[in-house]
Homo-oligomer: A and B are copies of this chain.
Amino acid sequence: MEERLKKQMDFLLEVDKLKFINRQTYLSDGTRRENDAEHSWHLALMAVLLSEHADEEVDLLKVITMVLIHDLVEIDAGDTYAYDEAGKQTQRIREEKAADRIFAMLPKDQGGKFRALWEEFDAYETPEAKFAHVCDNVQPLILNHATGGKSWRERGIRRSQVEKRNSRVGESSRTMKAYVEDILDKNVEKGNLKNE
């Protein structure tokens, strides 16, 4: 097998491990937690359907590729829960080390592109990165809303925490910002989120 294809196939086998990384959020039927691969698939489909709500036009292929790879570093670094302040302190260092290893498995041009896309997502500046974050932030709201706030209730999460995490959604899409507010109102009302 030529060297380039071998690298690509070794990488595609390695990233199978994303399916073993569990998140805090439960699937819509509440039976088990979601893993990163399922989450990434869901975000990609969200991007296809919802990118029309981005206030500034986005390059959809770029957004999709970003969300497909945005969690690969968690293969080594693990999932850091959005409301785990201690874990978030060391998150960047753990994830950079992971990116160094994982993206280097690819042919140089493709590894470099993925690394740059991951950095762009993390820097949260371009329209594509902002919209990718909208998807990444809103998707767990859909699931929490469906499960009666199962993962929120388990941890006693407050509305203000979810608001903080979603505070930049409006930079990308007024429509999605309104959606987030609506979901938060409903979940406070149901007692799924603490009204603080």
Contacts and interface: CB of A to CB of B under 8 A. Distances in A.
Interface of A: 1-2, 5, 8-9, 11-13, 15-20, 27-29, 34-35, 37-38, 40-42, 44-46, 48-50, 53, 60-61, 64-65, 68-69, 106, 110, 139, 142-143, 146, 175, 178-179, 182
Given A9-B179, A46-B12, A61-B61, A27 B38 contact: no
Contact of A12 (B2, B18, B45): B45
A78 to B, nearest CB: 17
Contact of A45 (B48, B60, B69, B142): B69
Nearest to A146: B13
Given A12-B142, A61-B61, A179-B1, A37 B42 contact: yes
Nearest to A45: B68
Given A48-B68, A110-B49, A42 B12 contact: yes
A114 to B, nearest CB: 9
A106 B27 CA distance: 21
B8 A45 contact: no
A28 B38 contact: no
A22 to B, nearest CB: 12
Contact of A44 (B8, B18, B35, B64): B64
A175 B11 CA distance: 17
